[in-house]
Structure 1
Amino acid sequence: MPKDISDTGLSVVYEAENSSPIIDIVFVHGLQGHPSKTWTYHKKEKKKSFIHRMFQKLLKATTHPEDNGTQFKPVFWPADLLPNNCPDSRILTFGYDSKVTKYNASEINQNSIFVHSKDLLGELHRGRERDPKRRLMFVAHSLGGIVVKEMLARSSSSVEGGLRNIVESTAMVVFLGTPHRGSQHVAALGEVVRSVVSSLGMKTTPVILDALGLKTTDLVRAQEDFSMLWHKYDFRVKTFQEGLTLAKLGKKVVPDYSSSIGDAREYAETMQANHIGMCRYSGPNDPNYCKIAGALQSIYLSIPSLKAIEASLDRRIQLTKSVLSTTSTNEPPHVVNGSKVNEACLRSLWFPTIDRRLQSLGSPAEKTCAWLFDHKLYKDWFNGTGRHESYGLLWLKGKPGAGKSTLMKEAFHQAAREQAESNYSTAAFFFNAKGDELEHSSLGLFKSLLYQLLPGDKQGLEFFHKMWDEKNKFVKRDIGEEWAAWAESELESFLEWVLLIQTKKRIIFIDALDECDEPQIRLMAYFWRRLTRGAYLKGIDLNVCISSRHFPTITLSDCPEIFVEQHNSDDIETYVDCKFELAFATKRPQWELLKKNILQKSAGVFLWVVLVVEDVLRSWDDGNEMPYLNQRAMDLPEELETLFSNIFSKLEPNARELTVKFFQWAILATKPLRLYEWRHILAFIRQPTLKSLREWRQSNSFIESDEQLEKQIRTISRGLVEVKRVYVGDSQEEGIEAISNHAGAGSLDLEHGDSRIVQVIHESVREFFLRNNGFFMLDPGLRSNPIGNGHLSIMETCLDYLNIRELNALVQAR
């Protein structure tokens, strides 16, 4: 154990020598813990007999001192291991007096766990005065996680900028076995904490728990406050759960439901250790250490790019201040609390969740995303060499979970890093359907882009100030109070003016257009097509990259498209290789087979791969064998089920019947059906039932072209069913007949309807309907027997088809 670590307060255990640290990593222990002992691994030795111990003493007495070098040394991993993964960092441990074994009704320690959080905040403030904006990561074990959560809440509510800077600088919080919440199986969160306290050999009377600050009401409040902070400041959160039981309790100290925060953004992993051993690691190859080191290193490696973006933003802010200071008005500037009213015009564009979606996205896996920057269409768009063909607009499309947002974030960050040396400015907006109103509306997009672009546009900022001043001329308000709200049409017109008045090159990224409010999606696409074309005709260099799912189907002229799932297979394989290499010291044939199965079933859906690989590794650490892992790889991850449910959540009630019948055919058919067959299916699953083919051909619902038919299939299925171009007889496609008697079936024209099949975009979609109540979600009346009812529906449609007049005439003729 290092000798210079104090039992209380902050102690620096490592600091980069040859460069300034780019991040502080702070370790916080739990009750009965210690700032070094909690994080130190000691090799376990079996209990020896009396004779054996005496022999060892005799041997030791006759052994030369230099022969003792082979003895195992304890591993204090924050100082002994972590610097190898995060060399340009400063690593600290925080200690506090948590030895409370003498508690009884008359002796109460006044330093509750929440008071310790106040001490931690003060220590951090004093210890970071030289570089208060340096990024922070916290690693907290057990109830130390509650100390960290309460400290961040105190920081956020502080009126002193130095204290508030702690939460603003936080990049990540890692929880190791921290009890966050109770469940329906446990009366209250306090009962989980009681288990933690009892595992330490302490009494757990209500008086003791109250004195520690561990009442259920306090714990629930701390968790609610932390969830709000997570949304507000967008730091990363990583959860590790104990995989083994504690022998003296006969169960896990903190059950999985309690050590999980329960947020959709959470990414939880299991440590193959009990509650006490999960924070101690034997060496750099310890599988548990590889997990936590990988999480910390991912944030550490992203700091340089974040600092480049922050430097760019700082330059924008300084430019804004200089512009504001030289802006002339007819009246002298009003001063309120030392700030010019002029500056409030920019603040009128800001909103708390302006970049929440962007910040919530994780960093891409190592050695991925490079294919996009090498893609000819992307390079031509970025460099402007293909402007005569695209007019500055590029569209990335992909299946749900293909990795579009991660690509867009990486593309934006790369452009932001390069803009300091290049003569262009860049901005981005990431739509978020699950966010607040501004996160999924056109108004939010306009406000965000203007907020990013105006600091670097003196002419635009001057004009915007005049607009703001005119809008608020007759409204007397103090700074900080609400000003007159901007209308969407105002900002749309002004953004168009800003982008078409400047000759400076601009690069804009708009992610997840499909998550914009549905009535606005098409209008947004047309807006950017019109704007980029107008900029091209004026000789203005405006490049806009949009990403979305394949649904809704929107056709734009002269807009190149890149389909992500056609190019991400190498990235997926790289990701699986990296994960397997971290988890297993040696390669085994069965793992290669499992990897092969995962890759074959991925179908370009990166999210499915991430979820399945994590589940497989967790199951392996739980002690399961390969047959079980293969089965887990077939199951639908809960997160994907939620994703599919959200896709159908906005489905109009009058469209549900058609959607149900559509998926009954798509899921329950014995083989993939061809595109030309779907032309008839879509006609006869609609109401009212057709009486003849002639009636169908004369109806408004008749679809003549394959292109329009494909669009309709994509619309009805919300993008979960695709038309795949394959050669007839392709052996890789199960269920496709090698020979068909249908005319033209042997055609090698991949655009021909007879040579294309209609199928779900991924097998997880089929699982969603067959085993996870997908049909019930669309029609609650199908709860009891959705599969049987589906086959009956298909039979009824076939009977309706057999009953058309043309077939009756054919039968009578025979």
Structure 2
Amino acid sequence: MSSSTRGQSSSSPTAESSPLEPNVSLRYPTISPIGITTVYDPGDETELDIVLVHGLFGHPENTWTAGSRPEVNPDSSDGVFWPYDLLPAELPRARILIWGYDVQIGGRSAPSTASILDHSETLLSSLNAIRKDKQRQIIFMAHSLGGIVVKYALSSPDPLAEKILQATTGVMFFGTPHQGSEVAALKLGKIARKICAVFVKIPNPRIVEALERGSDVLELISRNFLAVLNRRKIRVHSFREELKTGGTGGILVVDGFSSRIGWAFETHGLLHADHRQMVKFTLKRDPNFERVVAVLHRWLDTETEKPETEEGPTPPLTPDPRPLDPPAADDIPDELTLSQYYQHCLDSLNFMGSRNRVLELKNPYEDTSRWMLNRDTVYSRWLRGTLPKPIFWIQGKPGSGKSVLMKYASESDDTVAFLREFCGGPWTIIPYFFDDQGPAIQKSTEGLLREVLYWILSHYPSIFSIVFNMLKQKGIIPLPNPPSPTLLKRPAEFWNPPQEPTKIWTPSLMREALKQIGKKAQLDMNLCIFVDALDEHNGDQKDLIEVLDVLLDLEKSPSIKLRMCLASRPENIFRDKFSTYPTLVVQDHNRADICRFTTKRLNKNGDGQSQVLVDEVLRKAQGVFLWVRLVVEELEGVLRDGGTQEDVMRVLEEIPSELTEFYTRALLRSRRSSSGITAHSTKETYCILKIASAWDEPVWVDFLLAAGIFLAYPTKSGRLPERMINSLGGTLGSRRLYSRSAGFLESPGRGSDKDARAEFIHQTAKEYLKGGRAHEILKSWSPTPDHPESGMMMTLRYIVHLFDDYCDETLLPDPQHFPFAAERIIRCLRVLERDEGSCVGQMIEAVIMRFYYASPPRTPENFKRDLFCGGESTLKEIFIRKLLVDWPRPRAVMLALSIVWGLPLSIKLYMPPYREQGPDTPSEQSELTIEESDAVSLFRLTQGADDPHIPLQALEEMGLRSYISDSIWEQERSRVETPARIYLWS
């Protein structure tokens, strides 16, 4: 297609252009509801056909018509029909065709997908009939479920399909549901019903039912279309809606995931509209229309992509779809396989747990935080490129509000607008918030690397070839048509992404992938990365700095524009690294926001008498917003109880201005509470706070509360009544958690009531409880003050209680929080034995041996099945019972339970030197991994062992020979009276 296809033309029938040429009709076209209507025809100069296909519940004219704008087309009183009013001016040598079909009411088709297939065949025959020049290129533009019709038409076995396919150069989808919604069970038929509700139509029920029941057929259509894409040089761009249909309380008909085909070279875009309005444009300068036209121009122009006029289309939202640095032909069996690799690669990187923190952070209070994006702030000037440094550092005291500011900045439209002043075109915003209270990956550099790599590849799929080549060279990419995956085989993780982050992507591998992208990517990329709470990284901070340097190196690429906004406490390592970059000290800018927040909360009556309070809060706050929130909540309580302004001021004067002293006061006040329940609950408070602070990850609310009751109020039977366990969920549980924890813990609402987590109100609260002052206060509250137990030991005691109840059929068989106990016991045992020096074997041995009579038949098949079903099975009775009968030692117990719950297994197994007698002293630490092939060996080993020795032959079969010293190995082999064995535990 020549470049003359683009640009302004006097033949355009818009008010912004010159009078129409004679070969273009002056009459506004009459759109036929059925079949093809030509709305614009350049005649002999035609170089391209553009075919618009409405959705299954749309209309060939109404779907593409916006509200009335007589200044655009005075002849049309019905609104702007942009395929006629706007598009010809942009593509003057393109014939524009509208195809209509009727599926609104009734319908004679059988209740199957035949109706959709029939419409696809009709589209093919109609196009074939109207196209005299069979070589003329075609671009399809399809809205909503009409995209399914187009996909089948182009992948149909009909001979006409091949003719149309050979001429097709691109397909543009608008809100087409290619895949299921985020709810896995949602089928296309259900999406269709949502669309019916949006358009207030009475659909052909047979078609909707066919979409639901025919999901397998529709999936086949998608697979066939992917195969077509990989055979033909067809460009694909998928737009999705940004707004919910129906306003704030409406629905997002097609989400981001569903709007993507999943092809490696598909490009994507966002239109600021809901599902209906995303294909209705009013003016040539409508930003949504400009984005659509920009993609069309890019497809049709082989020259440098730039607008011909100053008021030309804005840069596209997505990168060029052409593959760059494609892998060698020998490395890729076919492009369809590459597309599958791409999707599996994204799946293996994606981990929603990495986004919990930013999703749960509360938005700024009303009008606070807006000052940050005023045009003249240092942050805004940095975004606009006035300050050329690539890094911006937000630093501040603990609790000053850094995370809230980071969330506000990363989600604000003003951030993107300022970035475009720095460099025009689309910007990819990548937020990552470290969280000391989150899962392990959320406080690691691994999580940061995963998130950045995931966002880059998902937004710029054409650079996947770079990563593919790197993985291929390292032997990590699985072969096409892989064998049935088995546990612990690394390539299998590509095909069956687990719930936890996969182990394929090691930090070093992800660093290498980013370096390769920086070196080899030729595609223009604009990246703005927000990394919050650097001080909550749970690892060597030097390693974190190195990872940030890897990200910073991306800027060295001539095709990559990079901005990194980082937030942390002003710790020395960050001062040394970031002091030369633009910086914002949060507490220095909080005065106006604190004043606004305090005034609105304490002056609800509008009497103005609280200004003295506000001034005092400002004076004592020192810019720490967390302190303000906690103090204001306490002062509001005084006012609720009928306190006067003098009472409130007296309380405010008593409150210390430092957070640590505030926390001390909160602990002591909880013991002096006027509530009769709270006044006698210090033992429960001790147990709850000690257990919560002992764990690096949040604890389930119901588990924590039940453990607190069990440990603080022991009963004669030693068991919790079922009614008490059932009463710990929902609102009551959240309220009890807050009161019993002295306000240190809350449940932010992650997940359902069943798996709600208890989290500290702030990282500073958790840090305080681990300090000496808190320890002295809590020590006197312990149920055993002379010998206070650690949080881990109390956790284990309650877990043992749960296991004991689980074995007794007369009691509650499966408490709601039992899975949490089973999941955490391994880590609990490790900490107690290795870090605290506690001997825990005797505590759990008797409990686990009670499963003796519940074991299924002892066969290799059952053993293998139970051993390798992962965490789905509560206990692997055979293996645990047999190991504990034969090896009643603490470290043997740890090994047994690690095998039971730790699959895929990666434990540190201590292998002490051979001892006739003496303490169980480890001499070296090695990593043991057990694969499926070892299951039978383990079974034989456990069935044949009658003492705590391991046969040498079994060790060889399990691949553990390297863990035993040569001298001990030879010594044991020299024994002739009995089979050679190694004594692992004294």
TM bucket (normalised to shorter chain) is 0.3 to 0.5
Calculate the TM-score normalised by the size of structure 1. Answer: 0.40
> RCO higher in 1 or 2 (8 Å CA, sep ≥ 6)?
1
Q: Which has the larger radius of gyration?
A: 2
